[in-house]
Amino acid sequence: MAGSGEEGLYSRQLYVLGGGARRLAGAAVLVSGLRGTGAQVAAALVLAGTGRVVLHDRDAACTADRAHQFLLEDSDVGRNRAEASQRALTELNPRVAVAAHIGELSEDFLASFQVVVLTESSLEEQLRIGDFCHAQGICFIVADAKGLAGQLFCDFGERFVVDDPAEGDLVCAAVQHISQGNPGVVTCMGAEDSHGHLFCDGDLVTFSGVEGMMELNSREPVPVRVLDAFRLEIGDTSSFSPYSRGGLVSQLRLPQVHSYEPLRRALAEPKIRVASHEELPRSHSLHAAFQALHAFRGEQGRLPRPRALADAERVLELARSLGAQQGPLDEDIVRAFASVSAGNLCPVAAIVGALAAQEVLKAITRKFLPLDQWLYFDALECLALEGATRLTEEDCAPTGSRYDGQIAVFGATFQEQLGRQNYLVVGAGAIGCELLKNFAMMGLAAGPGGDLTVTDMDTVALSNLHRQLLYRSADISKPKSVVAAAAVWRMNPSVRVTAHQNQVGPASEPLYGDDFFRRLDGVVSALDTLEARAYLESRCRRCLTPLLDSGTEGLRGNVLAMVPPLTKPLGPAGAPGDGTFPLCTLRYFPRTIQHTLQRPGFPRAAAGGEGPGGPGASAGQPVGAATGLAGLRALGPPALAEPLPRCHRPAAAHLPPGAREPGTPPCPLPSASHPFPLCRLPHHSHGDGVPRPDSALPLCQETSPGVPFWAGDRSCPHPLTFNPDNDAHLEYILAAAHLFAQAHKVPPCSDRAAAQTILRSVVLPPFAPQEGLQISLAEEQEEAQVPADCRRLAELTQDLVQRREELVGGEEAQVPPMEPIHFEKDNNIHVDFITAASNLRAENYGIPPADWLTSKRIAGRIVPAIITTTAAVAGLACLEVYKLVWGCQDLSCYRNSNLCLSDCLLLRVQPLPPPTYRYGGREWSCWDRLEMRAVGADGQEMTVQDVLDWLQRTHGWTVTMLLRGHTLLYDREEDEETRARQRVQRLSENLEAAGEPRQRELELLYVCEGEDAEAEDNRPPLLCSLP
């Protein structure tokens, strides 16, 4: 039934990693090197619940570490990095055993680990340990970040088994027909959301529930060939029985075995992962550059000095002499890399560390294909920024501050500019926490005039802790923004951070108005609803404020940059399927577990999850809709066949020993004399108000002569006979009883054996089909039934109130009132009931049941999430912040990023330029607007006539209509008297008359004489500043 406490904590991660995630608790991982990259790897593994994480570092923390190593405090400077980091990581997840090791990495020591990660090792140490790990079958990873570039290498041995190589749920489709032939052709039913199956050529599939051609049900997995969106070839079916009806075709993934080269061999013959073939020469040049950097360090005993031309040239000479590159060497890349390789940037460490941590999780869980074998990342486009190109060695010399690693790349003047920034972070969830952590390390808003505002209306929940770095178990139920701001201040007391608990939306415009947005240097969003994202974008568009939008789902993430006036606005996001299905499908003809989990009357979580974008599932519908029992009657898949019986208090003798404590209210379970209404399980498949269709349409029913009704996408349900020894039946009863007890505020009974004893004595009346039942076959008919369902629910609610009054009589003080039970996706009891009810109805229709976690994800509309993706996405967003701080006006320097960690793919592309259009004889950008100061010579607010005259005088346009939103200010088609009255009114008079609040700036719409049809939605807006 309910998930364990571990599942409650790690549920979002379990949806990403699958069953292999349970291996994490028994794994041991060594992380060597505890600077920025190593800290990110270690933190991700600890948050993910890895059993034992050992930290290794032989050096002491220095002041400059504080700009990229977020686990350290000021008091840790001078202490060993590993020992200093151990405390913070232990607090991050007390379930993980975190240890520190400051000695040599001997072979005896290394042999105890399943995975070894090196982040700050010399090439000689990498080769020595890599050879040992390869020989011993220990997964070996090298992750290194230098300046604006990063390197990742994986060697998982000569025979590494991947249990589940792909991302996402297994594909499944309902069968409509299967031909007899060679090859046989399977015709699948269209799905509501995709209008076709999702199989690919070569997928292995199995069949179940097929009637007629039953040979397929026991057949070994067969590969398919896709013919079109609805048809698959499956091999020879010519000797099989003719297909009759029903069946599911399901994808099967088989384990894969992969082999990897040791580091020593892979250096000379690198296999490099790239998003496109065009990136390969750049990655080969970086491969040579990293080897040359190792050689330079071995030769000089140090890294190249920042912006020192001689040092950069020496690294280039070594790269040429090594001959390690394949193809021509891009010398500009090597020089640029070497010139800032002494730098340490928190965003780059976050990206490389997150990618490395995900490879560790692949090694442990054996879920997803590991990296094969090299990956290179760089953001060297940052060096092309105006101002950055003119930096000298003196500009980037260390100053003894915590930001020296950042100054080495961008210079001291830029660091001061970072401190003066004013930024808004909307959302303090998983991405928001990583953004705020990076901002604290970077020193954003840590100087005079700087300000960092974070707003989130949500509170910390248990399920947040495995991926939201700034929160601890003691913070549960506290406001996220307040806790996050305090954590930022602890990381960097110089940051001026302000916490708000507001939703950024129309209701908060008095607080977050135009003046607020115009004062900002940028906005970074980490929202989880499309509506909130669209609103925030509209505010930034209006005020010409740069916006960086980030999002993740599982192992996929993206960052979009909107930089006025350089880039295209974000625009409407592709709306994902809302997960809803036609009502007639849900009510009468379910064919997937999604249908049974979203049947009419079932509670639904809100589309969003956590964050300020909107209420989450905790604010969803009551489980009992209006009141506990009435809602349960509407919810149950098992039927409540007769009206609610009058309830009487059962005597203690009717309950088994131990069923309740003396002096407590009776346990809400049935007894021989007190049948609990919800135990009326299954003589049929629907409850009151959700009729059983086969009673009106028997299996032999035909839509026309020779054409069966129950065929194609319609499966005929079969009844279930209640059996208290059937686990599925008993789990439904226990879950429903628990909810019933909660509604009545009495202790639930958790004695499974006692419940079975009681239920065995319950005699259920035979099922009687509902008379006059009509099945709606059209969606329109079913939607018309919704108001009647609502009326029925209201009647049940009123009936319940009356029954309560009869029951309590004069005992009002002794009987607590029933209370509605609001569905909460992270409440195990609620999910117990939803899972049990859904699976019983699935059994009615021959649909494979879903496990508890899958049911929770579907019913709660939970978006899979994991710390590695959020950390990488936040790092990518912060790289764009550097460019905004520079005031970069070169579109070619900005990047939109798309990330897929399951395939270890990172695609960064230049944003599109803004669209243009023609109006009034000239070309306009979507960012252009007309601005006028609507103040007359007398200092008073202008009239409508003044605006008309200004447009005529300035642009030569004759206005025929002027509007503010839906409020008409002027219309040339009106009569003369009305036009005269409109022209002399001041702008705010019209708005106040329409009941709109006075504003300092108005955006007006206009229609001009001679416009063509194409200009209807393409004209520059008119912004009028009022006195």
- Mark out the alpha helices in 711-827 (DSSP H runs): 727-744, 752-760, 779-808
Pair 702, 709: CB distance under 8 Å: yes
| b/e burial code for range 442-478 (CB count within 10 A of at least 16 → b) | bbbbbbeebbbbbbbbbbbbebbbbbbbbbbeebeee
| b/e burial code for range 317-336 (CB count within 10 A of at least 16 → b) | ebbeebebbbeebbeebbbb
Structure tokens, 87: 């405390």
DSSP 829-858: HHHHHHHHHHHHHHHHTTPPP--HHHHHHH
Q: What is the CA radius of gyration of the chain?
A: 33
Phi, psi of 672 (to 5 degrees): -60, -35
H/E run at residue 292: helix 280-300
Helices (H) and strands (E) counted in the chain, each on its own, are 29, 34
The Cα 306–Cα 114 span in angstroms is 38
Strand ranges, E, within 77-223: 97-101, 115-118, 139-146, 149-155, 160-162, 172-178, 185-188, 204-208, 222-223
The candidate with the shortest Cα–Cα distance to 348, out of 30, 119, 503, is 119
DSSP 466-526: TT-TT--GGGTTSBHHHHHHHHHHHH-TT--EEEE----SGGGTTTS-HHHHHH-SEEEE-
The Cα 157–Cα 131 span in angstroms is 10
Pair 559, 431: CB distance under 8 Å: no
Whether the link from the prior residue into 817 is cis, omega within 30° of 0, is: no
Interior angle at CA 806, CA 805 and CA 807, nearest 5: 90
Residues in the chain: 1027
The Cα 930–Cα 230 span in angstroms is 52
Catalytic (active site) residue 584: yes
The Cα 277–Cα 283 span in angstroms is 10
The Cα 392–Cα 374 span in angstroms is 33
- The one catalytic residue in 188, 540, 584, 1024 is 584
Phi, psi of 668 (to 5 degrees): -80, 65
Side-chain-side CA neighbours of residue 218 (13 Å) = 4
Interior angle at CA 394, CA 389 and CA 399, nearest 5: 115
In three-state secondary structure terms, 239 is coil
Pair 737, 678: CB distance under 8 Å: yes
In three-state secondary structure terms, 975 is coil
Structure tokens, 416: 């001061």
The Cα 91–Cα 105 span in angstroms is 26
Structure tokens, 798: 């009123």
Cβ within 8 Å of residue 916, ≥6 positions away: 923, 924, 925, 926
- β-strands 115-118, 139-146 pairing: parallel
Q: At what angle do helices 867-886 and 346-365 cross, to 10 degrees?
A: 160
The candidate with the shortest Cα–Cα distance to 901, out of 276, 146, 357, is 357
Give the active site residues.
Answer: 584
